[in-house]
Chain A
Amino acid sequence: MKIIKDKAIIEDTWVHYSGEGDLPGGKIIVSLEVWQGTDFSGRTVGLQLEPDQHPKDIRNDLDKLELIAINFPTFNDGRGYSYAKILRDRFGYTKEIRAVGDVMRDQIFYMQRCGFNAYEVKVGRDINVALEAFEDFSVKYQVSTDEDLPLYRR
């Protein structure tokens, strides 16, 4: 599957694992329940948070996690934007933060401003079109994960 990572289209090297069936090889992304109920020592694991699962609950696990995915079951649930910012700005998480679920071209600009750097674009949407989102705005007023200074001080 193709994803957008660091503003480029690449082949995804991660696999989502639901906890059912055989554990696949390679790098896997699992739910909070599977993560908490399974011994993954020796594996490269990413964790997917749902909107009602707060990053503070996995703060102590962050150094073991190579990726955090944040799910948007529907794009108008915006909790994930705050979660990404908290992971980056407060918890200092520097590895991949990936948006999954109802991720479309129209949300990506805001997502990258909040600290996301990878996107599984919603099935059926043209990933090439989604890539254009980074160019939507050339000027941003606010401080955010991608800007240390407000516009008036840049």
Chain B
Amino acid sequence: MYKYNENDQRIIEERAAQFRGQVKRRLSGDLKEDEFRILRLQNGLYLQIHAYMLRVAVPYGLMSSEQFRMLAHIANKYDRSYGHMTTRQNMQFNWPKLEDVPNILDDLASVQMHAIQTSGNCIRNISADQFAGVARDEVVDPRPYAEIMRQWSTFHPEFAYLPRKFKFAFTGAKEDRAAIKFHDIGFRAVKNAAGEIGFEIYVGGGMGRTPMIGKLINEFVPEADLLVYTEAIMRVYNQFGRRDNKYKARIKILVHELKVEEFTRRVEEEFKELGREGAVPLDSSEIARVSDHFTDPAYENLPENNVAFEQQLLDNKDFSYWYKQNVLDHKRLGYAIVNLSLKKPGVPPGDITDVQMLMVANLADQYSFGELRSTHEQNLVFADVRKADLFDLWQSLKDLGFAEPNIGTIQDMICCPGLDFCTLANARSIPIADQITNRFDDMDYLYDLGELKLKMSGCINACGHHHVGHIGILGVNKKGVEFYQITLGGDATDDAAIGKILGRGFPEDEIVQALEDILKIYIDIRDQGERFIDTYRRVGAEPFKIIYEEFSLKGAEL
């Protein structure tokens, strides 16, 4: 993974010092809260219902075991002994004290981490395919480009006060696991016929209250032009994005209002102008320098199949379930990609304790070259595990509670913090998630349901990505009472789609029953081997609407 040089290190240390000064001015009253707000947000510090929340950046979801130990230390020393993995692959701490935050930033800087631009109206932490570098379907490893973009976007002087927040995602694989069509800019690294690397650029995707699928504005931006082309997009947005209405300020609205043709024309024009002014293309030597940080670890030459491992699969049904559900093929023979499930009854999705973090760090050292990844689905990944080690690793993960064989099932839901923590939320989401994981805890039933992306948001801002859930749940509030709407048919991958609202919302004590009824209908009408999303695409919403008639669910008048 990328290791900071002297300059990278100095930048985050100077940021920590700058923020220490800002906190001091805030505590002395020199900075008013409304002035401090924007500054702290650019450093990932939110004020939530009960306390400050600090969001630590995990660029493109990649961490060393040393960094993860530091997160454990921070959880232990400054928070209530746990952290929360977010849908942008970051880690949030929900209870830091303002006066401790400068010390936290110093601790983070000591392991090349920071909280820079994890919030605010700027270019946010960059997310990427969590299997980058190890996926079998990968064409180009996107991590060097994501790191180059991290550096370029860090304290970019022109784009620190954009109309609204701005999110980048990268993939270099055939299958989109980074939801690039639901980002302000999605980058897919590709190769042209000559074998040269470039990027498909999608602009104007997003969720929130106006969900939109990103538009392809350029099919091949050569790697040398990556930064200048991005600068052109950002400049068009910074000048012409709406600032009169917070809810219409994202770039998706600009693209929509200008129409994609006019938006693209302005970007191309700006790109040409920047070229005329002598914009500096990205050096191949710089790409090579950064790429050298992302070379393969010291893989052994292994056979694809390991006799002992095959026997373990045969002998142990639980192990084979876990292997089938949570482990993926690796590009190297004899290796596997292991998902650590952070979803189980009784624990909010994505939560992890300090003790668990330390254990995970140790396991990463033991089994996966000392690195781990976070996913936008709020789980963790060991990317480079020898198949021969899987059985031992599985046993350790079981002890930790991270071996629930539920990746991709209805238990593996994405969920925002909801009204329990968030000032924006209209409804609680964590208790509903808990009800769902409890209700659907029969693994045979879950496997029978197959791949089913369930995503839940506690308000229309859609941090839980409900728009792209095969089934989405949206918390709303009517006259002080929480209700939950169901959407069907969303998809964050290449077949990008936005879920449609099924009908009236359900109160807290009916929503899980409604979900179960929808699943019953699916099981009745599906074709052999058909995923929920495919059934929905075949039959539409109509067959599912009978839950309002046949199942004594009244729903709310919403």
Contacts and interface: CB of A to CB of B under 8 A. Distances in A.
> Which size class do B's interface residues fall under?
20 to 34
B154 A78 contact: no
A137 B156 CA distance: 12
Given A104-B35, A139-B11, A140-B155, A78 B277 contact: no
Given A90-B273, A139-B7, A81 B160 contact: yes
Contacts of B22: 106
Contacts of A137: 11, 14-15, 18, 155
A139 B38 CA distance: 23
Given A137-B11, A142-B152, A149-B280, A81 B39 contact: no
Interface string B1-45: 000000100110011001000100000000000010011000000
Interface in B231-280: 235, 238-239, 243, 273, 277, 279-280
A152 B162 contact: no
Contact of B286 (A54, A90, A148, A152): A152
B238 A138 contact: no
A138 B18 CA distance: 12
B480 interface: no
B7 A151 contact: yes
The CB with the most chain A CB atoms within 10 A, among B10, B152, B158, is that of B158
Given A143-B280, A153-B283, A76 B14 contact: no
Contact of B14 (A111, A114, A139): A139
B423 interface: no
A141 B239 contact: no
Nearest to A136: B18
Contact of A79 (B152, B239, B273): B239
A144 interface: yes
A14 interface: no
Contacts of B157: 81, 109-111, 113-114, 140, 142, 144
Q: What is the interface of chain B mostly: helix, strand, loop, or mixed?
A: helix
B289 interface: yes
B455 to A, nearest CB: 31
A152 B235 contact: no
Contacts of B235: 82
Contacts of A149: 280
B239 A138 contact: no
Interface string A45-57: 0000001001000
A124 to B, nearest CB: 10
Given A77-B243, A142-B156, A152 B161 contact: no
Interface in B435-491: none
Nearest to A145: B157
A89 B273 CA distance: 10
A102 B219 CA distance: 41
Contacts of A83: 239
B39 A106 contact: yes
Given A149-B280, A153-B283, A76 B38 contact: yes
A97 B113 CA distance: 36
B386 to A, nearest CB: 36
B121 interface: yes
Contact of A76 (B161, B280, B283): B161
Given A77-B243, A82-B235, A82-B239, A144 B38 contact: no
A19 interface: no
B161 A141 contact: no
Interface in A64-88: 75-79, 81-83, 85
A136 B39 CA distance: 14
Nearest to B37: A76
Contacts of B295: none
B312 interface: no
A54 B239 contact: yes
Interface string A34-65: 00000000000000000100100000000000
B319 interface: no
B159 to A, nearest CB: 7
A146 B470 CA distance: 49
B151 interface: yes
Contacts of A111: 157
Nearest to A78: B161
Given A82-B235, A152-B286, A152-B289, A139 B151 contact: no
Given A79-B239, A81-B161, A106-B22, A141 B39 contact: no
B27 to A, nearest CB: 15
Contact of A81 (B10, B155, B238): B238
Interface of B: 7, 10-11, 14-15, 18, 22, 35, 38-39, 121, 151-152, 154-162, 235, 238-239, 243, 273, 277, 279-280, 283, 286, 289
Interface of A: 51, 54, 75-79, 81-83, 85, 89-90, 104, 106-107, 109-111, 113-114, 136-144, 148-153
30 contacts: A54-B239, A75-B38, A76-B38, A78-B121, A78-B159, A78-B162, A78-B238, A79-B238, A81-B157, A81-B158, A81-B159, A82-B235, A82-B238, A104-B35, A106-B39, A110-B160, A113-B157, A114-B157, A137-B11, A137-B14, A137-B15, A138-B10, A138-B14, A141-B11, A142-B156, A142-B157, A143-B280, A144-B158, A152-B289, A153-B280
| 10 residue pairs, one from A and one from B, having the closest CB atoms | A78-B161, A113-B157, A110-B157, A81-B158, A141-B151, A152-B286, A139-B7, A82-B238, A89-B277, A137-B14
Given A113-B157, A114-B158, 17 more contacts: A54-B239, A76-B121, A78-B158, A79-B238, A83-B239, A106-B22, A106-B35, A113-B158, A136-B18, A137-B155, A140-B155, A141-B154, A141-B155, A144-B157, A148-B280, A153-B280, A153-B286
